[in-house]
């Protein structure tokens, strides 16, 4: 297999945007092309678009071709859309990786885009129910918050994890987001504010949840030869893994605080990359809810099972700790425009490993990890390196 690297990245402003689905595509595409002036749209051979529900929010299918035309890309090697709920963006990066590693393409753009706040807040939440089983779950009104609440309760009951520890994830990520001009929220948050915010689904409060956000992100993925021609500082894709425990809640591990699929996806990625959890300098993990970040520390091997609450409380996932988690502000601070999230995570790791993350820069970051999930039962992990091996 050939080596594959990221050579450029760009992100739109995330938030409740006064912008159309196509506007968001233009913004992320512009930011990404601006970052690599040597590449023009006609040079891009492939496009993969991660997007979950444009059929509902923009009444639009045929997404990859629509985005290709919007950006002036004329795909000759690969054109596809990935719909994989919250992990759609990272799944798209895996497609680009595989095509390039196999020699079927040399330069592919992966773009993630979602326009969720459309046409109204009520409708946005109704639409989120498409991500769980319609017949057996969504018909009862189920969306993501109660699912992750089940995991949080179990983690509290089994390991003594506290509400304060859950809240600290919110404080950390909102604080990081205050240094990210593209984040949905930039006001930061105090422990009192998080603990005093309204209950959404017990024990998860508002500031322990990601919001409903519009946004887009794009990365350019290249073969080794093309990458070296385009930049002196490519960021290499070193490893990738994806695993599924199940789709419906009742197919997952009986203990909702255990996510074996995440551990399997991580082991696959670490093994391929030849790195260990303690080698990771910066990690973008899927904090759709505070509990998800805590369980991710454990399943990714940053700490032992059950110790995640103490890990965040001791600052070990913040600047100066073992690994900086969610330097861009995570899903809680940046927002979670489904298909865009995984691509925005990659864009952050790209910036960090090139030393271009500005006020958010993690000292001497050499190994980065992204974790994107679709519900509690499915996980995708990518490992990136400043060095190719």
Partner 1 sequence: MSYFRATDPFPLESAEHTKLHEFYARLAAGRLATTRCAACKRLAWPPRAFCGECASDRFDWVDLSGEGTIHAFTIQEVGLPSGFAGPRVFAIVKIDGLRVFSILVDAEPAKVAIGQAVRLSPLRVADDPSGNARWLPAFRPA
Ligand X SMILES: CC(C)(COP(=O)(O)OP(=O)(O)OC[C@H]1O[C@@H](n2cnc3c(N)ncnc32)[C@H](O)[C@@H]1OP(=O)(O)O)[C@@H](O)C(=O)NCCC(=O)NCCS
What residues are annotated to the active site? 86, 336
Sheet strands (E) in 17-105: 46-50, 78-82
- Residue 204: CB minimum distance to ligand X, A: 8
Q: Among 211, 215, 234, 330, which residue interacts with ligand X (rule: CB under 6 A)? A: 211
Q: What binding mask, one character per residue, do residues 91-130 give for partner 1 by CB under 8 A, x or -?
A: -------------------------------xx-xx-xx-
Return the closest-CA partner of residue 331 out of 239, 208, 160: 208
DSSP 8-state assignment for residue 65? H
> Which helix (DSSP H) or strand (DSSP E) does residue 264 occupy?
helix 260-273
Q: Can you tell me whether residue 215 is helix, strand or coil?
A: strand
Q: What binding mask, one character per residue, do residues 214-253 give for partner 1 by CB under 8 A, x or -?
A: ----------------------------------xxx---
Residues 191-220 that bind partner 1 (CB under 8 A): 198-202, 209
Contact 380, 241 (CB under 8 A): yes
210 binds, among ligand X, partner 1, none (CB under 5 to 8 A by kind): ligand X
Contact 99, 78 (CB under 8 A): yes
Count the residues in the chain.
389
The smaller minimum CB distance to ligand X, of residues 143 and 175, is found at 143
144 lies in the binding site for ligand X (CB under 6 A) = yes
- Residue 209: CB minimum distance to ligand X, A: 4
200 lies in the binding site for ligand X (CB under 6 A) = yes
The smaller minimum CB distance to ligand X, of residues 98 and 126, is found at 126
User: What would the 3-class secondary structure string for 317-385 be?
Assistant: CCCCCCCEECCCCHHHHHCCCHHHHHHHHHHHHHHHHCCCCHHHCCCCCCEEEEEEECCCCEEEEEEEE
β-pair type (282-284, 324-325): parallel
End-to-end CA distance of the chain: 14
The smaller minimum CB distance to partner 1, of residues 142 and 183, is found at 142
The smaller minimum CB distance to partner 1, of residues 65 and 197, is found at 197
Residues 144-183 that bind partner 1 (CB under 8 A): 145-146, 149-150, 153-154
Q: Among 70, 98, 101, 125, which residue interacts with ligand X (rule: CB under 6 A)? A: 125
Contact 296, 317 (CB under 8 A): no
Separation between Cα atoms, residue 348 and residue 341, nearest integer Å: 11
Radius of gyration for the chain, computed over Cα atoms and rounded to the nearest angstrom? 19
Q: Which stretch binds ligand X (CB under 6 A): 4-12, 101-109, 209-217, 304-312?
A: 209-217
86 binds, among ligand X, partner 1, none (CB under 5 to 8 A by kind): ligand X
Separation between Cα atoms, residue 258 and residue 180, nearest integer Å: 32
The smaller minimum CB distance to partner 1, of residues 150 and 272, is found at 150
Residues that bind ligand X (CB under 6 A): 86, 121, 125, 128, 143-145, 200, 206-207, 209-212, 288, 336
User: What residues make contact with partner 1 under the rule CB under 8 A?
Assistant: 122-123, 125-126, 128-129, 134-143, 145-146, 149-150, 153-154, 198-202, 209, 248-250, 254, 256
């Amino acid at each position: 297999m050939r080596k594959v690297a990221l050579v450029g990245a760009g992100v739109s402003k995330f938030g409740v945007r006064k912008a159309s689905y196509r506007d968001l595509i233009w913004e992320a595409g512009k930011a990404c092309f601006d970052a690599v002036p040597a590449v023009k749209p006609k040079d891009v051979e492939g496009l993969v678009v991660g997007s979950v529900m444009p059929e509902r929010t923009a009444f639009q299918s045929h997404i990859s071709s629509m985005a290709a035309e919007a950006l002036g890309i004329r795909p000759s090697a690969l054109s596809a859309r990935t719909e994989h709920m919250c992990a759609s963006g990272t799944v798209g990066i895996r497609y680009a990786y595989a095509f390039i590693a196999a020699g079927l393409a040399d330069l592919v753009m992966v773009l993630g885009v979602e326009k969720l706040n459309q046409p109204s807040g009520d409708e946005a939440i109704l639409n989120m129910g498409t991500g769980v089983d319609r017949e057996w779950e969504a018909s009862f009104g189920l969306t993501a918050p109660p699912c992750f609440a089940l995991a949080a309760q179990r983690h509290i009951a089994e390991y003594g994890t506290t509400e304060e520890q859950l809240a600290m994830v919110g404080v950390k990520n909102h604080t990081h987001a205050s240094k990210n001009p593209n984040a949905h929220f930039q006001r930061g948050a105090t422990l009192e504010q998080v603990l005093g915010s309204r209950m959404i689904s017990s024990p998860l409060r508002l500031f322990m949840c990601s919001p409903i956000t519009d946004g887009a992100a794009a990365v350019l993925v290249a073969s080794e030869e093309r990458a070296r021609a385009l930049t002196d500082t490519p960021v290499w894709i070193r490893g990738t893994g994806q695993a599924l425990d199940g789709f419906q809640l009742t197919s997952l591990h009986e203990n909702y605080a255990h996510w074996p699929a995440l551990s399997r996806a991580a082991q696959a990625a670490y093994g391929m990359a030849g790195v260990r959890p303690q080698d990771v300098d910066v990690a973008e993990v899927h904090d759709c809810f505070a509990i998800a970040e805590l369980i991710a520390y454990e399943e990714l091997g940053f700490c032992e099972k059950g110790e995640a609450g103490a890990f965040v409380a001791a600052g070990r996932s913040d600047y100066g700790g073992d690994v900086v988690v969610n330097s861009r502000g995570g899903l809680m601070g940046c927002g979670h425009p489904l298909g865009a999230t995984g691509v925005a995570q990659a864009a952050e790791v790209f910036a960090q490993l090139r030393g271009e993350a500005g006020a958010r820069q993690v000292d001497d970051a050499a190994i980065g990890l992204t974790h994107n999930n679709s519900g509690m039962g499915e996980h995708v992990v990518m490992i990136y390196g400043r060095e190719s091996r």
